[in-house]
Chain A
Amino acid sequence: MSDVLDMRAVGIHLGRGKGRREVLRDVTLRIAPGETLGLIGSSGSGKTTAGRIALGLLRPDSGTATVCGTPYRRSRREHAGKVQAVLQSPQWSFNPRRRLGDSIIEPLGVVDRGLDRMARKERCAALLVQVGLLPVHAERYPHELSGGQRQRAAIARALITEPEFVVFDEAVSALDVAVQQKVLRLIRKLQDTHGFGALFISHDLAAVRVASDRIAVMLAGEIVEQGAPGEVLDHPEHAYTRRLIETL
């Protein structure tokens, strides 16, 4: 079975004119099915850009990015349902004018046209229960839920198409520590059940340690160290990783 993410020697420049700068240089990342790679680094190190390339939202200037065995093409529909994301902001993770249930089943409309509305609602209710919410939450509007509940609902939306690869971009950073730990345990549990590979982007080392099987450290657009959480966080080899651990 091919890797869910295979980024090889990826480089990208962003910005226009004099503001154009190199954001990623020679980045190679691989994630096996069912594995979670934690990506850490300080702000501006290129973590989110790497995540955007992994999601097909940006195209690299050099190198290749293959997701679920296929490179991204102009149309995203080839990867529809196989790739999902849980993003940073609990406040804007859902359209405030739509009921949560409608937002959660939205990805199914792209991949599973055979399912009728009732079947989609049933799948939504089952996933809400799996992420620790109630089926009745599907009828609520986003502002009626707490930040932690919304992030759980965002996880339900990401998993509704049974994706092979999920990107968590600072997905727990806006939550308080207690809720963070619950959501992280939930992610691990769901990964055991659903078997998706994941890229877990965070500047929170404690969260990355809980969530990840391997960790990659980014500095100024380059990967400077990769390894198991115990190796990288307890016995860092690179001076930047040591500094990062001391600072954070």
Chain B
Amino acid sequence: MMTSTKLFVRRLLKDPLMLGAVAVLGVLCLLALVAAVVPFAGNPTEIKGMRLSPPSAEYPLGTDSIGRSLLPRLLEGIGVTLVISAVAVLITAVVSTAVGVVAGYAGGWTREIILRVVDVFYAFPAIVLAILVAAVAGPGRPAAIAAIVLVTAPLMVRMIAVQAANVAYRDFVTSARISGVRLPVILVRHVLSGVAGTLAVQVTYALAVGILVEGGLSFLGYGAQLPESSLGLLVQEGVVYMTAAPWMLFAPVAALVASILSITIVGDTLRDRLEPREVRSLT
């Protein structure tokens, strides 16, 4: 008999939209990774040619305002943006899972206090909160990571707390309590496995939001700092020369849209596949 995990993976592989999204993401990650290890497209900081040269055989995406080839800068930018977002979302996932599981399982006042604190952060518009954090912490990668964590954690804590509360009242958790199974074991073995689907979906959405926030912060000068590039930084440079050299804007925007869109599609597909399974009765 096929296990539910194998069945789940098989169904995902039959979804062309999901496959396309995974392929786009895979290509972006692979290009960024390879470029970081072997600079096949050239050195992103080296001034090589004329300022604002249009795309050509020598410079496939053209050059920037001081004559650096845009292709290596874009690949570096994709890598920097993805790494900042991924590290931030990893921190968000760990913190939100711990806090959300405790809030959901404990219930009562513990849950109320945690969720009201979360509401305070949730009430801030994301970009305002991100700018506030970056302004306090100072521009750079740590500020961008902290800002993404603060922007993405409230929703993730809330979603995980709701799901953990659902799982906490299920008979298999009560049976484990009656059997004398220790609380940490119950939380890890039963509650955590019960929120895994919600966590997977929320992580993908948080990743998309993370890329957007990193882009926004770098665009405003609070994120990645020159000479390093990131997608937000490249978009900001592209906007300055939008009329004279539109290719400077086109490539980073396309990469930003492609990565956010594909991550969102992966998240939507995971949600459709994982969350109805929790309430199914006839499937």
Question: A-side interface residues toward B, CB under 8 Å?
Answer: 55-57, 76-77, 79-81, 83-85, 87-89, 91-98, 103, 106-107, 109-111, 140-141, 143-144, 154, 157-158, 161
How long is the Cα–Cα vector from A207 to B189 in the complex, in angstroms?
34
Chain B residues, Cβ within 8 Å of A106: 176, 179, 181
Chain B residues, Cβ within 8 Å of A77: 180
A80 touches B180 (CB 8 A): yes
How long is the Cα–Cα vector from A77 to B181 in the complex, in angstroms?
8
Q: Among the listed B3, B170, B177, B196, which residue makes an inter-chain contact with A76, where contact means beta carbons less than 8 Å apart?
A: B177
Taken residue by residue from 65 to 106, chain B's Cβ proximity to chain A (1 for < 8 Å, 0 otherwise) reads as 000000000000000000000000000000000000000000
Pick from B180, B181, B182 the residue with the most CB of A within 10 Å: B180
A144 touches B177 (CB 8 A): no
Chain A residues, Cβ within 8 Å of B3: 141
A85 touches B174 (CB 8 A): yes
B179 touches A92 (CB 8 A): no
A143-B4, A154-B175 given. 5 additional CB < 8 A pairs?
A80-B179, A89-B171, A93-B175, A106-B181, A141-B3
How long is the Cα–Cα vector from A140 to B4 in the complex, in angstroms?
11
Evaluate whether A84 and B171 lie within 8 angstroms (CB atoms) in the complex, with A98-B193, A141-B3 already known.
no
Interface CB pairs A-B, < 8 A, 29:
A57-B174, A57-B177, A76-B180, A79-B180, A80-B179, A81-B179, A84-B178, A87-B171, A87-B174, A87-B175, A88-B171, A92-B171, A92-B172, A93-B171, A93-B172, A94-B172, A97-B193, A97-B196, A106-B176, A106-B179, A107-B179, A107-B180, A107-B181, A109-B181, A110-B179, A111-B180, A141-B4, A143-B4, A158-B175
B172 touches A84 (CB 8 A): no
Taken residue by residue from 117 to 128, chain B's Cβ proximity to chain A (1 for < 8 Å, 0 otherwise) reads as 000000000000
Pick from A85, A97, A143, A158 the residue with the most CB of B within 10 Å: A97
Chain B residues, Cβ within 8 Å of A98: 189, 193
How long is the Cα–Cα vector from A56 to B174 in the complex, in angstroms?
11
Chain B residues, Cβ within 8 Å of A88: 171
Pick from B175, B181, B189, B193 the residue with the most CB of A within 10 Å: B175
A95 touches B193 (CB 8 A): yes
Q: Closest residue to B179 on the A side, CB-wise?
A: A107
Q: Closest residue to B1 on the A side, CB-wise?
A: A144
Q: How many A-B residue pairs have CB under 8 A?
A: 69
Pick from A80, A84, A92, A94 the residue with the most CB of B within 10 Å: A92
Q: Among the listed B1, B180, B182, B190, which residue makes an inter-chain contact with A140, where contact means beta carbons less than 8 Å apart?
A: B1
How long is the Cα–Cα vector from A84 to B3 in the complex, in angstroms?
29
B198 CB to closest chain A CB (Å) equals: 13
Question: B-side interface residues toward A, CB under 8 Å?
Answer: 1, 3-4, 170-172, 174-182, 189-190, 193-194, 196, 281
A106 CB to closest chain B CB (Å) equals: 6
B178 touches A55 (CB 8 A): yes
Chain A residues, Cβ within 8 Å of B181: 106-107, 109-110
A84 touches B179 (CB 8 A): yes
Pick from B4, B178, B189, B193 the residue with the most CB of A within 10 Å: B178
Chain A residues, Cβ within 8 Å of B175: 84-85, 87, 93, 154, 157-158
How long is the Cα–Cα vector from A166 to B179 in the complex, in angstroms?
11
Q: Closest residue to A90 on the B side, CB-wise?
A: B171
A57 touches B1 (CB 8 A): no
Chain A residues, Cβ within 8 Å of B196: 97
How long is the Cα–Cα vector from A144 to B193 in the complex, in angstroms?
19
Chain B residues, Cβ within 8 Å of A157: 175
How long is the Cα–Cα vector from A77 to B180 in the complex, in angstroms?
5
How long is the Cα–Cα vector from A76 to B172 in the complex, in angstroms?
17
A5 CB to closest chain B CB (Å) equals: 14
Q: Kindly list the 10 A-B residue pairs having the minimum CB-CB distance in the complex, ordered from nearest.
A: A80-B180, A107-B179, A87-B171, A92-B170, A110-B180, A97-B193, A92-B171, A95-B172, A76-B180, A77-B180
How long is the Cα–Cα vector from A144 to B1 in the complex, in angstroms?
9
Q: Closest residue to B171 on the A side, CB-wise?
A: A87
How long is the Cα–Cα vector from A96 to B195 in the complex, in angstroms?
12
Chain B residues, Cβ within 8 Å of A107: 179-181
A191 CB to closest chain B CB (Å) equals: 18
B146 CB to closest chain A CB (Å) equals: 34
Chain B residues, Cβ within 8 Å of A103: 172
B180 touches A95 (CB 8 A): no
How long is the Cα–Cα vector from A103 to B3 in the complex, in angstroms?
16
Chain B residues, Cβ within 8 Å of A111: 180
Q: Closest residue to A88 on the B side, CB-wise?
A: B171
B260 CB to closest chain A CB (Å) equals: 30
A108 CB to closest chain B CB (Å) equals: 9
Chain A residues, Cβ within 8 Å of B281: 91
Q: Closest residue to B278 on the A side, CB-wise?
A: A96
